[in-house]
A and B are shown apart, each in its own frame.
Chain A
Amino acid sequence: MNLLPYGDTAVLLSCESLDEARRWHAAIETEVEGYDDLVMGAESVLVRTDRERVAAIRAAIGDLRPPASVPPAIGSAVEIPTRYDGPDLEAVATHTGLSHAEVIAAHTACTWTVAFGGFAPGFVYLTGEDERLHMPRRSSPRTRIPAGSVGLAGAFSGVYPRESPGGWQLIGHTDMAMWDLDRDPPAALLPGHQVRFVESS
């Protein structure tokens, strides 16, 4: 792990893998105080504070040893009811060599873990154990992806919380709200949660 300055009010832990990043995140969350934000990336962790506290936080992280394994998931798995009618289901089947039914079976059998949040409120990157579902992004992204779209990109799955442009391979759709400001917390999924997709008709 490389501990790097990130501007003059933050530090970034640059890690070798998502697993390593998650272990450092767990250690900082438990042992370090005085930061305003602790943010996961795919292979990094950002710790944001202010100019007065950044040196002390950097020293505290330097003294930490992360746990040997990622902490267990929080609570029971969140179920996401999904209709597998996405426009890229055929492309995914072709790329993976699986039938449509086998793609759906693989996606629903997998226990997904929320790795980190990202480009929009309520959007989280999900990791799973089944490498058969790894897909490249679409070579030409769509300008308009409907809210609730369930997709695959790289080693991740995810649900678009609202309409947006995007390059993920869309395999289905859920009516479950990933983001609702009238709910507490407003995000349906948070880092540390586990997720299962459940096929609905």
Chain B
Amino acid sequence: MTFTVVAAGAQSLVQDTGRPGYAAMGVSRSGAYDRASLRRANRIAGNPADAAGLEVLMGGLRLRAGADHLVCLSGAVGPADLDGNPVHHEWPTLVRAGQTLTLGTPVIGMRTYVTVRGSIEVAPVLGSRSTDLLSHIGPAPLTDGDVLTVGSVGGEPIVGEPAGGQPEWRLGTGDVTLQLTSGPHTGWFIDTALDLLCQTRWAVSAESNRVGLRLDGPRIGRKRTDELPSAPCLRGSIQITADGQPIVFGPDHPVTGGYPVIAVVHDADADLLGQARPGQGVRFGR
């Protein structure tokens, strides 16, 4: 059972929820940027929550079904159609053999998640089907003409029940608000640094990617200028780099970093980092 990639779009990647446990080898967890959206789409498609789907950056993906499939779209919201007929967001959608699913450019958010009942079958690397663009681990990004294999389905229920505690989709075009905990290196910055971080309306830079979300705004000054001994980092770590601007680490972050970490975004909120658009406002709260 397959899909043919008629058009891959700007960046379409196979992602599950990543490969934790390999940090000692310098391998980051990687996985879907917006994990909650991938999980919601998996449940609606009747998959285990952490199954492999596609992460599509700014639309452009066209898939032609080789057999009947159940699919679901979640995450970034935009026009999507099946042979010209609109496809509903976060809805189990039957795709018949020969039909073509087309994702337009999102109007809210950046990354659309496409799941299919049975999940995407590709050889796992270090226990995961996630594509890590920094470490070059996992499946290659999709290209035109690729054929995706869909796994066969066992005795699971047709539509999975949502687990408790999943955050509701709360992204719009307004400011994104993220909760943080002050970081281990706050003493490296001027005394007002954390206040400045939390009082500023930062703008997402177009230089952002799966490694990190760069933010434009006032310079955050340092008290200590010596080099930080390399320290382990996570998705959500907020580093202040040499230009005094924050970068919030994404799923393909380097395992250790040499810049001081002023704060760390809470894990569930870090999903929204993958959906904030260039120019969109970002605010932090303690």
Contacts and interface: CB of A to CB of B under 8 A. Distances in A.
Contacts of B163: none
Q: How big is the A interface, by class?
A: 35 or more
Given A44-B184, A117-B25, A117-B255, A36 B20 contact: yes
A187 B23 contact: no
Given A7-B234, A42-B231, A181-B137, A121 B184 contact: no
B234 A121 contact: no
Interface string A163-185: 00000000000000000010001
Contact of A7 (B229, B230, B231, B264): B264
Q: Which 9 A-B pairs have the closest CB atoms?
A: A42-B229, A7-B264, A46-B232, A39-B232, A117-B26, A39-B23, A41-B231, A187-B25, A118-B256
Contacts, number: 114
Contacts of B29: 37
Given A39-B232, A39-B255, 11 more contacts: A6-B181, A7-B265, A8-B267, A14-B184, A37-B23, A40-B232, A119-B230, A121-B26, A121-B27, A154-B227, A186-B126
Contacts of B20: 36-37, 48
Contacts of A7: 180-181, 234, 236-237, 264-267
Interface of A: 4-10, 12, 14, 36-46, 48, 50-51, 116-125, 154, 181, 185-187, 190-191
Nearest to A162: B136
Contacts of B180: 7
Contact of B231 (A9, A44, A123): A44
B179 to A, nearest CB: 8
6 contacts: A6-B183, A7-B234, A37-B20, A40-B232, A119-B230, A119-B255
A8 B232 contact: no
A57 to B, nearest CB: 15
A120 B181 contact: no
B242 interface: no
Nearest to A17: B229
B264 A119 contact: no
